[in-house]
Amino acid sequence: MNCIENYTGVSILLLITIMLSFAGCGDTTYMQGKRLYAVNCQNCHMEDGSGLGGLIPALSSSAQIGSADFSCIIKNGLNDTIFQDSTYLLKQMPSFKKFSATEITNIVNYVNHTWAKDFKESTILDVEKVLNECP
Ligand code: HEC
């Protein structure tokens, strides 16, 4: 009798644990991407993607996001010279050669999920295809 009660108790506990871990899933969407963004991108593009004045472009309103296309910017960086306030400014974004395609996919999905108008998940195959065709 006791044994059966214990067993029921354990089962209920187990069930609650399983339910809780599923409930947590919503929060962990693109969690690795968020973590990578926080460590590697946020110091320039800011936590809310708003960038830094004329120096760092905002991601939250960028036309570059929304697909996997900006994978190349992450991998190779960007060195545009832009004309602003009657001077040429060299804007430099560092390259992140160290990232695997999986890591880039997670960053891309985190950025797009957070800021793109129409979110469509990119797969690792999408990212690999883009990376193979970087300029
Ligand atoms: C040291 C500061 C710095 C860091 C760190 C940085 N960026 Fe950038 N990023 C820039 C600058 C500056 C530009 C503009 C470069 C240019 O136009 O030549 C830029 C441009 C971009 C663009 C194009 C935006 C547009 O509208 O033109 C994207 C997308 C982007 N960065 C994503 C990222 C992601 C994702 C990370 C992290 C993996 C990251 N950046 C890390 C400085 C940074």
Percentage of residues in the chain with pLDDT exceeding 90?
A: 61
- Which domains are assigned to the chain? 30-132 (1.10.760.10)
pTM here is: 0.82
103 CA to centre of ligand 1 in angstroms? 16
Mean pLDDT of 105-114: 97
CB crowding 35-59: b at 16 or more within 10 Å, else e: ebbeebbeeebeeebebeeeebbeb
What number of CA atoms fall less than 13 Å from residue 128's CA on the CB side? 6
Ligand 1 test: best mutation among 35, 80, 93, 100, most atoms within 8 Å of CB? 93
Band (pLDDT 50/70/90 cuts) for residue 50 is: very high
By mean pLDDT, which of 9-23, 56-70, 89-103, 117-131 is the weakest? Answer: 9-23
Q: Whose CA is nearest to atom 40 of ligand 1?
A: 41
For residue 55, what pLDDT is reported?
Answer: 84
Q: What's the one-letter identity of residue 122?
A: S
Is residue 20 predicted with pLDDT exceeding 90? no
Ligand 1, CB within 6 Å, residue ranges: 40-41, 43-45, 56-57, 59, 62, 64-65, 70, 73-74, 78-80, 91-94, 96, 107, 111
Contact 115, 46 (CB under 8 A): no
Residues 6 or more apart whose Cβ sits within 8 Å of residue 112 = 65, 66, 67, 119, 120, 121, 122
Top pLDDT among 105 and 8 is at: 105
30-42 pLDDT tens trace = 899 999 999 999 9
